[in-house]
Amino acid sequence: MFSVTVRDHMMIAHSFRGEVFGPAQRLHGATYVVDATFRRAALDADNIVVDIGRAAEQLHAVVAELSFRNLDDEPAFAGMNTSTEALARVIADRLADRVADGALGEAARELDGLVVTLHESHIAWASYERPL
């Protein structure tokens, strides 16, 4: 399996519901380094996994929709704990929609999978993997 990873970052504010989250139940900020890894079993006709420039542009567009926002105020996240894991899935699903729409080029429609990893810090991160 071949893969290409692009990276961006985002800064958000949010809070959590549930005792398991302790002090994070209060409003707080988070800065994430966001990696999107595109996978395919065979390279395309140009001998690449995906156009890195397009992949980076689309990842940036997706994280820009979330950056500098209080996710508690966003209708798309109503009633949802916006954990690192949950946000990785949101970003992966939004990128998958862009792949399907052709935003990463026609050849990218043949990608096999996508993994999005959100790094909370140098010691903790979470990922979501999905087929395409």
- What is the bridge-based pairing of β-strands 28-40 and 113-119? antiparallel
Average pLDDT score over residue span 90-110: 97
Query: How confident is the prediction for the chain on average, in pLDDT?
Result: 97
Nearest to 16 by CA among 79, 75, 67: 79
Asked whether residue 109 is assigned to any structural domain, the reply reads yes
Q: pLDDT per residue over 50-65, tens digit each? A: 999 999 999 999 999 9
Percentage of residues of the chain with pLDDT beyond 90: 100
Asked whether residue 63 is assigned to any structural domain, the reply reads yes
pLDDT score for 46: 96
Number of domains comprising the chain: 1
pLDDT score for 73: 97
pLDDT score for 86: 98
Q: Which residues contact 4 (CB under 8 A, 6 or more apart)?
A: 37, 38, 48, 49, 50, 52, 55
| Tokens representing residue 24 in the block | 């994070």
Output the domain CATH number for residue 46.
Answer: 3.30.479.10
Cα 40 from Cα 132, distance rounded (Å): 10
Enclosing domain of residue 47: 2-14+28-131
What predicted TM-score, i.e. pTM, was given to this entire model?
0.96
Asked whether residue 97 is assigned to any structural domain, the reply reads yes
